[in-house]
Amino acid sequence: MSGAALQPFGRAEAPVLAALHARAFAPEERWGEAAIRLMLGLDGGFGLLAGPAEAPLGFVLARAVAGEAEVLTLAVDPPAQGAGVGAALLRAALAEAARRGAACLFLEVSEANAPARALYARAGAAEVGRRRRYYSDGSDALVLRVSLS
């Protein structure tokens, strides 16, 4: 890409983002419209999408509360993957979390998800925990932390 502009999104984009999420994730990991609206409405929740709001290339949903932030989900449409969109979204989420006063940001990722792990490692994420057999395929979840200060 990586020139696609990023912009905040709101509840109105939930349908198009749920469709994108369904293309990017396995069935048991998919988030529907209601989940996206719910996460966006959490205390400190925010969302950023890449590309045009009516046909986004990817999006990130995150929250920043009481000095800590977390990425709730990050998805890039499969045809747009590998072109820097995910890295741009992650960078923007880190910047927005810092702007909102977070000193660190947490991420959860399957140990089997090599692309996401590589992306997060490049952003400076360090493993701080592990949830055994967390995902439906039996893989562990790694809890990662990025320092924003």
For residues 45 and 101, which CB has a smaller minimum distance to ligand COA in the complex?
Answer: 45
Pick the binder of ligand COA from 4, 40, 48, 109 (CB under 6 A): 109
DSSP 10: -
Whole-angstrom distance, CA of residue 96 vs CA of residue 146: 13
Q: Scanning residues 48 to 77, which ones bind ligand COA (CB under 6 A)?
A: 74-76
* 24 contacts ligand COA (rule: CB under 6 A): yes
Distances (CA, A) of 102 to 61, 63, 75, 86, 106: 15, 10, 22, 21, 10
Over the Cα atoms of the chain, what is R_g? Answer: 14
Q: Residue 119 Cβ, how far from ligand COA at the closest point, in Å?
A: 3
Task: List active site positions.
Answer: 108, 120
Q: Contact residues for ligand COA (CB under 6 A)?
A: 24-25, 74-76, 81-87, 109, 113-116, 118-119, 122
